[in-house]
Structure 1
C-alpha cells in the first residue's frame, strides 16, 4: 500500500466505510491530507513543471528519497504529493473528480481492489499507458499484476507498484514478558495454521503485559486469510460468490472468534488510535503484508528498533494489498507524468523501496535482487527470504469489479463484533445487507 500493500495498503476504501488498508489522494479534509511541497501550480515562467501525485496510505516514495532523487536528475521537475491516509476516503473523492469535479493529480494511485473496476468500467477516464511505451515494461511484471490493469482491448491503465506477501510482525519484548518464545522459526511452527495463531494468542492473553493485546485488529487477520484464497468475492466468470464461498465465511468466523476471545486491541486500522498504539505497545502482533514494514517503522519510532521481528504467517503465503499508478485523462502534463511513473515503478526503485520501506516488488527482475535483504529494525529478520517465499507460494487471485466495496462492508461488520459485541451471525447478516446496498 501498497499494498499492502502492505504496501499502503494498505486503506482504506476501500468516504464512508472502507478500512482496508490501503489508500486516494487529494481528497478528504485538510487534516487528512499532506502536501509534500510548498510549491503548487503546473509550471512557472522558468519552464519548471510541477507534477502532482495523488496517493492514499504510505507508498513510501517520499520517505525513501525517490522524489528527491528524481528532482535532482530532472531540474525542471518539481513533485508535489497529495496523500490521505484512508483509501476509503481517497477513492470516493477521486470518483467525484473523475466525474467532472476537476482538481485531478497528474498521477493517481489505485488500490488493487479497485483496479479491475477501473479496467472494466472506467478505462475512458484514464490514459492508455501503451501510448507512452508501457508495453515494453509489462513483461517484467508478475503476469497477474499486469493482467488486472489491462482492458479487454489491450489498453494498460496502470503500472504496478508493490504486492503484499504476508508474514506476522511481532514484538519480542512483549512476547518475552508474557513468557512466550521469541524465536521466529519456533513461532512460525506454533502458528503454522490460523487456529495455532489463536492458540498462541490465548497463551499471550493469559500473561499479557498491562495495556497490551495479542493482535491489533481482527480485520487485519481477516484480510490476511482472504489473501490466501485464489477466489474470494467473485468467481473466474465474474459471478458474485462472497456469500456462498466457504473461504470467506471461514475467515469471517475465525476473525469473529478472535474478537470473542478478547485477543484484539479493538483498533480500527489506519485511524489515529491505531497509529499511536504502535509506539505504546498496544498490541504484540499484526498480520503483516510486506508494505506494513515501513508503516511500523514510521509509527513505532526509532526507539522500537530491534523490538520488532518478523515470522512466517500461518499458511506461509498470502497477498494483501499492492497498488498501481495511473494517469487520468485530465492530467496537465501526461508525458512528464508517465516518465515519472515509469521511473517510480522501475526495478531499481522497487528494490530501493523494499530495502527501505518493505514494499515487495511486483517486477520479477527486482524480486530476484532482494532475496538476501535483512532489516536491522526488525532484529535483522531475513525479510527478503520470508516475504520472497510467501510471494512464491502466492495464489493467482481472481479479482472482481467491486472487491473493495465488499471488503469494506465485511470489515465494518467485523468491527461491530469486535467493538460492540454484536453476535457474529447477526454481523454476517449485516454484512450481506451492506454489500447489497453498496452494489445496488
Structure 2
C-alpha cells in the first residue's frame, strides 16, 4: 500500500469518526424557575439523545418574554424551543410565529387526551393552530395559615363557603391576630373574572372578539374586591415585591389565592420557616380557575425543528420528566399519567401533612376550558390599572370599566 493511499485511508477514518460523533445543539430560551426543570431533565435527555446537546438560555421572567417578543418580530435571536408563561400564551399564540403542532410532522392533536383538557384550549389561537404544549399547570387554590385561622376561632369553611363569609373571616382574623387574609384585594378580582364564563367566551373577549369588560361579571368582581379592601383584610402589597415577601415571612399575610405552584414557592424561598403552618383549600364560593402554567413552543424560523420537537415532547409528554419537575420545583404536572402517580397521594410536610395534590388534581379536572386572545395580556394590565383607580382614587366602578373597555377596544382595534 502506497504512503499516499494509507494517508487518504487514515483521513477517511478520521472524517468518519468525526461525523459519527457529530452533535446538534438546540437552544432553549426560558426563565426562572422553569429553567431549573429543564436543567434537571438534561441527564435523562442526554442518555436518550446523545447526539443532541441543549443550550439553556435563561432570562428573568419579564426580560425573557420581552426578548422573545422582539425575536419573533424581527426573526433575529430566535431559539429552537421557547418557554412561555400562561400570562403570555394568548399573545404569543396569536402572533402565529410558531409551528402549528396540530399539523404533520407533529400531529400533537393525538396527544390531547393525555393532558389536562383546558391546556390545549389555552395554547390554541383563533386560527385553530396549536402553538405550544403544556409543561405544568396552576390549579387555583386558597392557601391559608391554619395556625392563625385557628387562633381567630375560624374554620376552613368560613373561608370557602361564600365570598361574604371569606371577607367576614378576614375581618375577624385581622382583629384577632393582626394578620391580613390577602396580600392584595385584586386577587379576588382575578379569581372572580375567571369564574362563571359563558361557553366559548374568554376572560376579556367573547367568541367573536367583542370586549366584555363592562359586563356584570366584571362589576361583581370589582365590587367584591373593593369590599375586601374597604374591610381592611388585604395588606395592599403587590405580588413579587419585597413587601409581599416580607408579609409572608413576618406572618402579616395569612392567605393567598393563586395557582398550586405558590405552595412550592412558600416552601422553597418565600417563607420556609412557616413550614407545617399552611393548608390548601378550594377557592371560595365554589370557584374553579386556572392560575398560571408553563408551555413550550417551536418558532416557525427555528433552525432544528425535529430536535426541538423531541425536546418539547420530552419536557411535556414524558411522565418521568414531569415527575422530576414536580420533585424539583413543586410544580403540578399537566400530564394525566403523572397525576396518577403515587407521589400525588403523598402527604406534604410543608402543608402539615395534608395530601394537597389530590385536591389540586380534582380542581384541575373541573377547570373550564377558556379560549385565549392575543390581547389578553394587554387587557389584564388595563383592567388591573382601572381597579387600582377604584380602590385608591374612589373612581366609580362602572366608569372605570367603561374606560377600560374603551382603551382595550382602541389598542385591540375592535
TM-score range, shorter chain: 0.7 to 0.9
| Structure 1 counterpart SS, 2:192 | helix
Please report how far the alpha carbon of residue 113 of structure 1 lies from its aligned counterpart in structure 2 after TM superposition.
Answer: 4.7
Query: How far off its partner does 1:344 sit?
Result: 0.9
Do 2:322 and 2:333's aligned partners in 1 also have CA atoms closer than 8 Å? yes
Correspondence for 2:205 among 234, 244, 256: 234
User: By how many angstroms is 1:47 displaced?
Assistant: 4.7
- What is residue 225 of structure 1 aligned with on the other side? 192
Counterparts of 1:269 and 1:228, CA distance in 2: 21
1:58–1:429 distance in 2 versus 1, CA, 3 Å: farther
CA contact (8 A) 1:167 1:311 kept: yes
1:275 to 245, 251, 254: 245
What's the CA shift for 1:325?
0.9
Instruction: Indicate how the Cα distance of structure 1 residues 78 and 222 shifts in structure 2: closer, same or farther if over 3 A, else same.
Output: same
- Tell me, yes or no, if structure 1 residue 169 matches structure 2 residue 140: no
The answer as to whether partners of 1:188 and 1:311 remain within 8 angstroms in 2 is no
Match of 1:110 in 2: 84
Determine the structure 2 residue equivalent to 1:193: 162
Please report how far the alpha carbon of residue 375 of structure 1 lies from its aligned counterpart in structure 2 after TM superposition: 1.4
Further displaced range: 344-353 or 108-117: 108-117
CA distance in 2, matches of 1:72, 1:403: 40
- 8 A Cα contact 2:139 2:363, kept in partner: yes
Q: Please, which runs of 5 or more residues in structure 1 have no aligned partner?
A: 1-45
Q: Which residue of 2 aligns with 1:127?
A: 99
Hey, what does 1:365 align to over in structure 2? 337
Partner in structure 2 of residue 77 of structure 1? 53
| 1:62 aligns to 2:20 (yes or no) | no
Question: Could you give the per-residue CA deviations for residues 270-303 of structure 1, whole angstroms, max 9, x where no partner exists?
Answer: 2343234332333110003112222222332432
- TM-superposition CA deviations, 1:193-217 (whole Å, max 9, x none): 22211111111111233xx422111
Partner of 1:302: 272
Distance in 1 (alpha carbons) for counterparts of 2:221 and 2:255: 18
Please tell me whether the aligned partners of residues 211 and 405 of structure 2 are also in contact (alpha carbons under 8 angstroms): no
In structure 1, distance between residues paired with 2:290 and 2:188: 12
Counterpart of 2:72 in structure 1 is 98
Note the 1:406-425 alignment, pairs <5 A: 406-418=379-391, 420-425=392-397
Q: CA RMSD in A?
A: 3.0
Cross-structure match for 1:286: 256
- 2: CA distance between counterparts of 1:188 and 1:357? 29
User: How far apart, CA to CA, are the structure 2 residues paired with 1:152 and 1:398?
Assistant: 9
The Cα shift of 1:431 comes to 3.3
Describe the SS at the equivalent of 1:108.
Answer: strand
The equivalent of 1:387 in structure 2 is 360
Q: Deviation at 1:50?
A: 4.7
Cα distance in structure 2, aligned partners of 1:373 and 1:356: 15
In structure 2, the gaps of 5 or more residues are 1-20
Give, in whole Å, the separation in 2 of the partners of 1:238 and 1:126. 22
Corresponding position of 1:323 = 294
Q: How far off is 1:330 after superposition?
A: 3.4
Higher helix share: 2
* Counterpart secondary structure, 1:406: helix
1:434 is displaced (CA, Å) by: 4.0
Q: How many angstroms does 1:326 deviate by? A: 0.3
Asked whether 1:248 is paired with 2:218, we answer: yes
Larger Rg: 2
Distance 1:283 1:385 in 2: 25
In the alignment of these two chains, the number of paired residues is: 382
Number of the residue aligned with 1:18: none
Q: 1:322 to 1:222 in 2, by over 3 A?
A: same
8 Å contact 2:23–2:53 — kept in the other structure? yes
Query: Contact 2:116–2:364 at 8 Å: present in 1 too?
Result: no
TM normalised by structure 2 equals: 0.80
Deviation (angstroms), 1:169? 0.7
Equivalent residues of 1:85, 1:270 under 8 A apart: no
Q: Are 1:403 and 2:376 counterparts?
A: yes
Whole-Å Cα distance in 1 between the matches of residues 384 and 239 of structure 2? 10
Q: Compared with structure 1, are the counterparts of its residues 356 and 422 closer, same or farther at alpha carbon in structure 2 (3 Å cutoff)?
A: farther
Separation of aligned partners in 2, 1:197 and 1:81: 43
Change (3 A) 1:109 1:415: farther
SS for the counterpart of 2:164 is helix
Note the alpha carbon deviations across 1:341-399, whole angstroms, 9 max, x for none: 11111233334434554433333323333652431111122112211221232223243
